[in-house]
């Protein structure tokens, strides 16, 4: 777990075994040899169908955040295992990180740092950062994170916010002063910054691809703090190389943690990267670990937390 508080809560009511070896072979071995009631996992650990197949004693699996792309929920449901997540606890952290990436790219902070360190102070005459004030932020997804980011930029930068989210109640968008669009094709040309805040599921894989990137302004910036698979990295790279968009800030990647740092994307100066830590702050990890531990114990004791994601497929009595 990301914070010791979670293990302290669990240790008061259960025996806790920890491993830092996330290989499928090790996880299958552990689950075959010991009888665990619950599993708590953090990235990059994966609970695949193959691993879940040997989890005969397991009653619950919990991720450490909102996303469940590292858990085969269907396989767990078939085996009668509850899958829990921990939504919203890191929403502020991720929203702040998305805003940080927006500002870092638009103000060309990394390039500014490089020229100062290399005694090229005169480069200030060539660098031209842009203002975000009075620009348009486009959101794909306005759940806990997207809505918090909207409030930050509306209040602090006077940005207008538009969004695409087919699952949200339009009344929610209205209450947030967000103009909701029913299709990406209409929304994308309006965006000065596009920020992604949806889970990785079959319907969102490569939701922003070559066609969608082609609809953006040449001055637009793309920010992704959600999941790597929702943005086509090859299409993004080509658009950045050809200067069809202005820049990108990524906290997540398609092949993480084994990203290919020799690829063209990581050679570009109009990009900023971080190692999938947008949701990992001192404050959020405490909230996350506390919530995960509390929810797991509640389920094992016969209560049913609202964070059970596959409740409809389980016989909860």
Three-state secondary structure call for residue 190: helix
Q: Which of 97, 276, 287, 290 is catalytic?
A: 276
- Measured distance CA(222)–CA(208) in Å, rounded: 10
227 is catalytic: yes
- Measured distance CA(152)–CA(163) in Å, rounded: 15
- Measured distance CA(39)–CA(18) in Å, rounded: 10
197 is catalytic: no
Q: Which of 42, 97, 197, 227 is catalytic?
A: 227
Q: Where are the alpha helices (DSSP H) in the chain?
A: 4-11, 24-33, 49-52, 73-78, 91-106, 109-117, 144-157, 170-175, 184-187, 210-214, 233-241, 282-300
CA 73 from chain center: how many Å?
18
Q: How far is CA 74 from CA 59, 80, 185, 227, 310, in A?
A: 14, 10, 32, 20, 8
42 is catalytic: no
The DSSP secondary structure of 226-292, one letter per residue, reads S-GGGB-HHHHHHHHHTTSS-EEEES--TTTTS--TTSGGGG-TTEEE--S-TT--HHHHHHHHHHH
Q: Which of 7, 8, 78, 256 is catalytic?
A: 256
146: left (phi over 0), alpha (psi -120 to 50) or beta: alpha
| Residues noted as catalytic | 227, 256, 276
């Amino acid at each position: 777990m990301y914070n010791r508080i979670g293990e302290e809560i669990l240790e008061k009511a259960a025996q806790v075994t920890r491993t830092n070896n996330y290989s499928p072979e090790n996880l299958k071995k552990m689950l075959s040899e010991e009888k665990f009631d619950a599993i708590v996992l953090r990235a990059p650990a994966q609970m695949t169908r193959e691993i879940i197949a040997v989890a005969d004693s397991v009653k619950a699996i919990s991720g450490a955040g909102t996303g469940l792309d590292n858990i085969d929920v269907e396989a767990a449901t078939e085996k009668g295992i509850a899958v829990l997540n921990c939504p919203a606890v890191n929403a502020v952290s991720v929203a702040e990180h998305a805003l940080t990436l927006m500002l870092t790219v638009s103000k060309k902070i990394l390039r500014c740092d490089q020229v100062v360190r290399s005694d090229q102070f005169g480069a200030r005459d060539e660098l031209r950062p842009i203002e975000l004030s009075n620009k348009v932020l486009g959101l794909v997804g306005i759940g806990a994170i997207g809505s918090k980011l909207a409030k930050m930029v509306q209040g602090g930068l006077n940005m207008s916010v538009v969004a695409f989210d087919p699952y949200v109640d339009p009344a929610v968008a209205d209450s947030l002063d967000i103009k909701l669009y029913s299709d990406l094709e209409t929304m994308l040309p309006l965006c000065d910054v596009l920020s992604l805040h949806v889970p990785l599921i079959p319907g969102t894989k490569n939701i922003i691809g070559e066609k969608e990137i082609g609809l953006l302004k040449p001055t637009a910036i793309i920010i992704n703090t959600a999941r790597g698979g929702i943005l086509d990295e090859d299409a993004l790279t080509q658009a950045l190389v050809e200067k069809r968009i202005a820049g990108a800030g990524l906290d997540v990647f398609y092949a993480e943690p084994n990203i290919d740092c020799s690829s063209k994307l990581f050679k570009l100066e109009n990009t900023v990267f971080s190692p999938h830590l947008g949701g990992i702050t001192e404050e959020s990890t405490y909230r996350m670990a506390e919530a995960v531990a509390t929810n797991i114990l509640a389920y094992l004791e016969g209560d049913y937390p609202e964070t059970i994601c596959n409740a409809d497929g389980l016989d909860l009595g």
